[in-house]
């Protein structure tokens, strides 16, 4: 019985570790945004729009989703659309959460 508990504990720890490692890393994903938005999110990309710094996670996620499906953005949205559409919802949520804390 003791062995079973030990084995089950090890399996649970491994499963948790693997799922945690697979979770999207917003900081790592944001590195692809730094060139236009700045390391701290305070730059206006291409001189238009709003800086991402200071925005709430839910607002940022909604905008990212809109860029991905083409329903959000101005005349230069093609750049963002092409970048963002490759990310999953989980990755966009992680990026939005990270950016909201800049």
**Domain range annotation of the chain:** 24-100
- Fold of the domain built from segment(s) 24-100: Cytochrome Bc1 Complex; Chain D, domain 2 (1.10.760)
pLDDT digits over 62-101, tens only?
A: 999 999 999 999 888 899 999 999 999 999 999 999 999 9
3-state class (DSSP) for residue 70? coil
Cβ neighbour number for residue 30 with a 10 Å cutoff: 19
pLDDT digits over 14-48, tens only?
A: 455 444 445 789 999 999 999 999 999 999 988 88
Number of residues written out for the chain: 102
**What is the pTM (predicted TM-score) of this model?**
0.76
């Amino acid at each position: 019985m003791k062995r079973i508990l030990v084995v089950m504990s090890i399996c649970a720890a491994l499963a948790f570790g693997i799922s945690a490692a697979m979770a999207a890393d917003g900081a790592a994903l944001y590195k692809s945004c730094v060139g236009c938005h700045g390391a701290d999110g305070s730059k206006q990309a291409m001189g238009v729009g709003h800086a991402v710094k200071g925005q709430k996670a839910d607002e940022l996620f909604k905008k990212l989703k809109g860029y991905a499906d083409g329903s959000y953005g101005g005349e230069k949205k093609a750049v963002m659309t092409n970048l963002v559409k490759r990310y999953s919802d989980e990755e966009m949520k992680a990026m939005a959460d990270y950016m909201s804390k800049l």
